[in-house]
Chain A
């Protein structure tokens, strides 16, 4: 059974700092990995999607990397801003029998202090 872990559960940094959010998963037989952002009281917004054959994806100040063999992904946020404060979740997709599954981590709650 796939398990996705995100540690720490919460992180507080000063504005302007570059930071890395970590995600680990137990089964390396994944189809892709996604990073989502969730604002308080809101749904999830997809940030980046990395296919299993890819090593990284970039969007603006965000860069996500994937090391499938070691079961790890990182989300790098450059020059953090207070507006980046949110919960960041990673999710891995894999095949389980005939069905595809999407397994989420519990998220890292990021607070960027002005």
Chain B
């Protein structure tokens, strides 16, 4: 199995631009999670989906952030417009089960730099 696939691995953009991060979960997994990791705040859960339906988006920092999961094999996290404080590593993870406490498998992350 290829594991969780994220693209791009690195993204550098200018403030105000739209950024789209992509994730392909492990085939057969029912849940997908988006995290953000910074030195200051550590790892934070932004949103998670179960069977393509958003379950909890209380971690999404602002309306500038949105996430979609149009099918079981693809999800996007969009930031529009981006700001320098959005610079972080964004991880996607997937799980066979439906709760956050079940074992999750993480992708390699996307390092976002907003200038």
Contact = CB atoms under 8 A, between A and B. Distances in A.
Interface of A: 31-32, 34, 41-46, 49, 89, 91, 93, 99-102, 104-107
B104 A46 contact: yes
Contacts of A100: 56, 99-101
B44 to A, nearest CB: 8
Contacts of B107: 43
B101 A104 contact: no
Contacts of B109: 41-43
A18 to B, nearest CB: 27
A43 B4 contact: yes
Interface in B42-78: 42-45, 55-56, 58
Given A99-B55, A104-B42, A45 B103 contact: no
Contacts of A43: 4, 91, 93, 106-109
Contacts of A106: 42-43
Interface string B84-113: 000000010100000111011111110000
A89 B109 CA distance: 16
A107 B93 CA distance: 18
A100 B97 CA distance: 13
**Most chain B C-beta atoms within 10 Å of own C-beta, residue among A31, A43, A102, A104:** A43
Contacts of B42: 104-107
Contacts of A46: 103-105
A102 B103 contact: no
Contact of A101 (B91, B100, B103): B100
A42 B106 CA distance: 9
Contacts of A99: 55-56, 58
A104 B100 contact: no
Contact of A102 (B55, B91, B101, B106): B101
A91 B109 CA distance: 18
